[in-house]
Amino acid sequence: MSGTRRRFFQDAAAFGAGMFGLRETLRAGTPESTLQSPRENENGRHHSPYGSHGPHPAQARAVVRDHALPMVTPDVADLAHEMDGSVKVFHLVAEPVKRKIAPFKTIDAWGYNGSCPGPTIQVQQGDRVRVVFENRLPESTSLHWHGLEIPIEQDGVPYISQKPVAPGEKYVYEFTVHQEGTFFYHAHSAMQEMMGQIGFFVAHPEKDYKPYVDHDYGLILQEWAVLPSNSVPNTAAMEFNWLTFNGVSAPMTTPLLARLGSRVRLRILNLGMDHHPVHLHGHQFVVTGTEGGRAPESTWCPMNTVLVSVAQARVVEFEANYPGAWMIHCHLPHHMMNSMMDLLRDRQIQTADQTEAKAMSQMESLARSVPFQHVHPSPVAPNAESVPGFPQDAFMEMGMDEAVEKPETYGLPKNWSAGMMGMMTMVRVLPDKEYDAIMMKKNTAGPSAQEEHHHES
């Protein structure tokens, strides 16, 4: 056994010990109340995703709520507006955007107002909306309002409903929103869509939906084909190696926070080449809306995986009754990982028949080329390399807690980030004390680091 190999196995053993430690931590850190059966509410009944079984924080706080809670889009900002009389005026600029999608990967995407996906627009049903649009892309574009019932001249389809907006030009869209629901804006040009030109357009109902929710989160699903050592997505590709929620790949996705016992709404939007079955751990949800608006309660049925097809939105709601860090992720296996192509290079295309020496030299160059502190906490067997097929996930699981640290990750078990890859985030269902502690940290920390920093990979 070479020195390198020995060191490698020693490391692996040490990480293994760490992993067992982690399981202990998980067990030890689990509040009493999580260890058993469904939490019961004041009436002694189990919560259900239908939300019809009694009070939760929103109901307790407000008997009647006229205005809906604004949606939060983690890792993406909201677009501010100004009033011109009774018209809500938004300024939207299409432009190239550098987006750090992982601690070691920044891509050259296209988006709006420095963000990809573009900033979230939130309006009230009945609003008159004006969007002053400016094109700072190197080519013509337009804005389509997906799902909105508006006059044809506002539909944003180049050559059909308007002249394309040339580089450097402005164009003004104006319409009245008579619908409620989860809509979106995007360039009506296929390649530009694949470069990231999409954003939420949420129309809150005149009267808030019932049952009321305590948290409302939005996730945009995107996929990218970025070849090794490249930063520009290949928009003609049919295979994708980077999968993102709101423009970031796990573990950079900011965990969603939910107070224990609260009702959570999650709006999931997909604009890519694949359909994504999005799965929530540990809870059942009901689909309460689509890209067409609110769904009648008679259609709600319990599930924990919802297929969000291309150009669709699915709105789900659940009662956050079980404390813990519960994953939300696309369940397609290749969408549950980050691309290691930059790092693995030729290993990507020849795993079956390489010699041990070659495998080891690749491991070493992999370790050297990762430009940030990380660990492989997952133990491997001493004879791993004699087993056909090894490795599979062993070196994919990279702990990088510090690189992705933010208030929302506070208190997660050590090496949590090794379990988070690709199109994945988590909802952290937290008892009051923990929830309030993180909110306090959030309020003093300011905007999360990833929105402030742009690094070249």
Q: Of all helices (H) and strands (E), which one includes residue 111? A: strand 105-112
CA of residue 33 relative to chain centroid, distance: 28
Binding residue count for Cu ion, defined by CB under 5 A = 4
Instruction: Map tokens 């079956």 to a residue.
Output: 352
d(CA 170, CA 167) in angstroms, rounded, equals 9
Minimum CB–partner distance for residue 97 and Cu ion (Å): 23
Minimum CB–partner distance for residue 240 and Cu ion (Å): 9
- Select 330 or 363, whichever has its Cβ closest to Cu ion: 330
- Select 213 or 313, whichever has its Cβ closest to Cu ion: 313
d(CA 98, CA 195) in angstroms, rounded, equals 11
Minimum CB–partner distance for residue 338 and Cu ion (Å): 13
Residues 375-434 touching Cu ion, rule: CB under 5 A, are none
Mask for 151-190, x = binds Cu ion (CB under 5 A): ----------------------------------------
- Select 220 or 330, whichever has its Cβ closest to Cu ion: 330
β-strand partners of 134 = 93, 170
Does residue 314 bind Cu ion (CB under 5 A)?
no
- Select 109 or 330, whichever has its Cβ closest to Cu ion: 330
Mask for 334-353, x = binds Cu ion (CB under 5 A): -x------------------
Which stretch in 15-23, 110-118, 276-284, 441-449 sits in contact with Cu ion by CB under 5 A? 276-284
Q: Which residues contact 79 (CB under 8 A, 6 or more apart)?
A: 90, 91, 92, 113, 118, 119, 120, 121, 199
- Select 122 or 244, whichever has its Cβ closest to Cu ion: 244
- Select 137 or 330, whichever has its Cβ closest to Cu ion: 330
- Select 243 or 252, whichever has its Cβ closest to Cu ion: 243
The token pair at 387 is 């087993």
Which stretch in 200-208, 301-309, 330-338, 407-415 sits in contact with Cu ion by CB under 5 A? 330-338
Torsion of CA 401, 402, 403, 406, to 10 degrees: 90
Minimum CB–partner distance for residue 277 and Cu ion (Å): 7
Minimum CB–partner distance for residue 303 and Cu ion (Å): 17
Strand order in the sheet with 198-204: 121-124, 198-204, 181-186, 144-146
Which stretch in 103-111, 155-163, 203-211, 322-330 sits in contact with Cu ion by CB under 5 A? 322-330
* Residue from 132, 273, 332, 403 in contact with Cu ion (CB under 5 A): 332
Which stretch in 115-123, 183-191, 224-232, 331-339 sits in contact with Cu ion by CB under 5 A? 331-339
Which stretch in 132-140, 275-283, 361-369, 405-413 sits in contact with Cu ion by CB under 5 A? 275-283
Minimum CB–partner distance for residue 276 and Cu ion (Å): 3
Does residue 329 bind Cu ion (CB under 5 A)?
no
The verdict on whether omega for the bond into residue 211 sits within 30 degrees of 0, i.e. cis, is: yes
d(CA 184, CA 296) in angstroms, rounded, equals 21
Q: What is Dmax (Cα atoms) for the chain?
A: 78
Minimum CB–partner distance for residue 389 and Cu ion (Å): 24
Sign of CA dihedral 101, 106, 110, 113: positive
Minimum CB–partner distance for residue 308 and Cu ion (Å): 9
Does residue 330 bind Cu ion (CB under 5 A)?
yes
Which stretch in 86-94, 272-280, 360-368, 399-407 sits in contact with Cu ion by CB under 5 A? 272-280
Task: Please state whether 320 falls in left (phi above 0), alpha (psi between -120 and 50) or beta.
Answer: beta
- Select 258 or 330, whichever has its Cβ closest to Cu ion: 330
Question: What are the angstrom distances between the C-alpha of 19 and each of 16, 73, 99?
Answer: 5, 32, 32
Minimum CB–partner distance for residue 274 and Cu ion (Å): 5
Sign of CA dihedral 177, 182, 188, 192: positive
Residue 437: CB atoms within 10 A of its CB come to: 14
Sign of CA dihedral 144, 121, 130, 86: positive
Residues 84-103 touching Cu ion, rule: CB under 5 A, are none
* Residue from 276, 283, 314, 374 in contact with Cu ion (CB under 5 A): 276
Confirm if 265 and 217 have CB atoms less than 8 A apart: yes
d(CA 248, CA 97) in angstroms, rounded, equals 13
Of 447, 450, 449, residue with least CA distance to 78: 447
Minimum CB–partner distance for residue 425 and Cu ion (Å): 13
Residues 19-38 touching Cu ion, rule: CB under 5 A, are none
- Select 141 or 338, whichever has its Cβ closest to Cu ion: 338
End-to-end Cα separation, the chain, in angstroms = 35
Minimum CB–partner distance for residue 248 and Cu ion (Å): 15
Q: Return phi, psi of residue 443, to 5°.
A: -70, -25
Residue ranges in contact with Cu ion by CB under 5 A: 276, 330, 332, 335
